[in-house]
Structure 1
């Protein structure tokens, strides 16, 4: 896993659906991991002088035996969300509402 900082947590797989019917699947990141992501986003913004697209932070993710690179996105309310692609959901036999043990590095 890449990145100097790593966090493990358990979250619930949830689905967001657009008005057009397209569905995206996510896990939420809260607590200490969310605080660390927020701090990382702030430091990177201060270093570069600009905010990443949608305020995102690039992360390396592991769920079970699946590993991939993606971005974490700040949520309006609190915390962060990480998209979980179809290939991972299939490989790890994940369904909406399932608890998911996730490791993130950034």
Structure 2
């Protein structure tokens, strides 16, 4: 399953003074992903191949306890390469590998 969406980048401050950056998969697409039969993985994660601009990487998306949508972590190398900033837009393509 391949999905594309535009999201907003948001920051989550970890307890150890480091920050993580994410974007949320829209609720309707998160529901489609949730319906794919697959074995349970830690934290309810789903393996994906992500693409933002010219950057592509393997990672996992995780269900957010606050929104119920999946969230995609955006690592620093990708943010730097693609000029992504907190609060800015991001166009994402996900190839869902689990399922």
Kindly state the Cα deviation for residue 76 of structure 1 after the two structures are TM-superposed. 1.0
Structure 2: gaps of 5 or more residues: none
Q: Which has the higher helix share?
A: 1
Instruction: Find out whether 1:27 has 2:23 as its counterpart.
Output: yes
Q: Which has the higher strand share?
A: 2
CA distance in 1, matches of 2:27, 2:65: 15
Aligned partner of 2:59 among 70, 73, 76: 70
Structure 1: gaps of 5 or more residues: 46-50
Kindly state the Cα deviation for residue 19 of structure 1 after the two structures are TM-superposed. 2.5
TM-score, normalising length: structure 2: 0.90
* Cα-Cα RMSD: 1.0
Larger Rg: 1
Residues paired across the two proteins, number? 95
Please list every run of at least 4 consecutive aligned residues from structure 1 whose deviation after the TM superposition is greater than 3 angstroms.
none
TM-score, normalising length: structure 1: 0.84
Kindly state the Cα deviation for residue 7 of structure 1 after the two structures are TM-superposed. 0.7
CA distance in 2, matches of 1:18, 1:102: 24
Q: Which residue of 2 aligns with 1:98?
A: 88
Q: Which residue of 2 aligns with 1:44?
A: 38
